Amino acid sequence: MSAKDYNIPGNKLALDSIAKKKNILSGKKLVDVAKQAPAPSKDWCQLIVTERGLVCRRWKISIRGISHGGGPSPTEVALYFFDEFQMDDSIQREIEQVYGTETLEQVIRVACGHIDRLCSLPEKTVTKIASYLDLQSIVKFGQVNHFLRQISNSNMLWKDIYSHHCGPPSEDVKMVGDELGWKKVFFMDKLQLQKEISRRRKNVQDSASDTSSSSATLSSSTLAFITQS
């Protein structure tokens, strides 16, 4: 677009709208789902909903592109403010067709301003709140939206849950938890956890032994070289 075109009032409004829509992605992410579109297209689609609007992405999947060794064709991106989404029946039908009725209803609730204020709290605060829930409630907690799903699977949360249920973790348990993930450690039985601790101790000992052997070999080689000299 030339400078002359930019001076046309209609074009100015269009450019302003595009600039504002780019800010949609900077809002807190509330929904993030990806799915393959139904036949006949079979395109790969992604829907992102933030506090500011929607982003619909589509990757064209073509046999021609695959046969030539290329990846998917350039992504199609459409951005919508919530008022645009509410008035656009076609995008609502597309969301329902690709992602299902439940996802559509969730997006409609967000578009109408029914946003869970829990998500506006700092992540550490939400994690602390979640750590006091029972296990069944944590599963439901993680189904609310993308942000809470991330927290429900986070190491920070499951380390707190482990401490609440099993007491403060020992240094050995901390090492296993940091290595394998605290959610996995929480659901381990005692025998399996002990095996993991023993395995890690053995790895540490073997590593220390290899280091000592290497140092001894190097010292012997150095001494032999000096003697020969």
Write out pLDDT tens, residues 70-117. 555 557 889 999 999 999 999 999 999 999 987 898 888 889 887 767
Contact 42, 60 (CB under 8 A): no
Cα 165 from Cα 40, distance rounded (Å)? 50
Residue spans of the chain under pLDDT 50: 1-10, 66
Position 9 scores a pLDDT of 47
DSSP 53-65: EEEEEEEPP-HHH
Cα 176 from Cα 156, distance rounded (Å)? 14
Position 213 scores a pLDDT of 61
Q: What are the residue boundaries of the structural domains of the chain, listed by start?
A: 3-115, 154-229
44: left (phi over 0), alpha (psi -120 to 50) or beta: beta
181: left (phi over 0), alpha (psi -120 to 50) or beta: left
Position 146 scores a pLDDT of 75
Contact 73, 62 (CB under 8 A): yes
The pTM (predicted TM-score) of the whole model is: 0.48
Position 112 scores a pLDDT of 87
Position 55 scores a pLDDT of 92
Nearest alpha carbon to residue 47 among 86, 91, 112, 109: 91
